[in-house]
C-alpha cells in the first residue's frame, strides 16, 4: 500500500521560532500536498507541488513556505511561528495512476506557545 510518513509526529515550538515539518512518500507520486486541520475548519490546503523543485500556493499560504527537493520529499517551513499556527498538519500524495486518490500521512501535531 502507498506510504506517506511525516516527521516529527508532534512538536512544541516557541512564538517567533522556525519550524520545519517533513514529509516522505514511497508511492512514486508526482503530486504532494500540505494541509492543516483545525476543529471547525476541516482540511485547508497550504501548499502543493506537481513536480520536484516547484511548489504552488494553496488556499492559506500566508506564513508558510514549502520546499520540494525531490519527488519523494516535501517540507513545510514556518519561518516565524505564531500562536495561530497551532494545528494538526497533514501531508498527502497523489497521482493519475492511482485515480488521483490522495494518500495521507499520520499527521504532525504542532503546538506554538
Closest CB 93 distance from another protein, rounded Å: 11
Residue 4 binds another protein, judged by CB under 8 A? yes
Produce one character per residue of 6-31: b if its CB has 16 or more CB atoms within 10 Å, e if not: beeeebebeeeeebebbbbbebebeb
Residue 40 binds another protein, judged by CB under 8 A? yes
How many alpha carbons fall within 13 Å on the CB side of residue 112?
Answer: 18
| Count of residues that interact with another protein, criterion CB under 8 A | 25
Residue selected from 14, 79, 100, 113 as contacting another protein according to rule CB under 8 A: 100
Residue 8 binds another protein, judged by CB under 8 A? no
Amino acid at each position: 500500500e502507498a506510504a506517506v510518513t511525516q516527521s516529527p509526529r508532534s512538536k512544541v515550538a516557541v512564538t517567533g521560532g522556525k519550524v520545519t515539518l517533513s514529509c516522505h512518500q514511497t508511492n512514486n507520486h508526482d503530486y504532494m500536498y500540505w494541509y492543516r486541520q483545525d476543529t471547525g475548519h476541516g482540511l485547508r490546503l497550504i501548499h502543493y507541488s506537481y513536480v520536484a523543485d516547484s511548489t504552488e500556493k494553496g488556499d492559506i499560504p500566508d506564513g508558510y513556505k514549502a520546499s520540494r527537493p525531490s519527488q519523494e520529499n516535501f517540507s513545510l517551513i514556518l519561518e516565524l511561528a505564531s500562536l495561530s499556527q497551532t494545528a494538526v498538519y497533514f501531508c498527502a500524495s497523489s497521482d493519475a495512476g492511482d485515480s488521483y486518490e490522495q494518500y495521507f500521512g499520520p499527521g504532525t501535531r504542532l503546538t506554538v506557545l
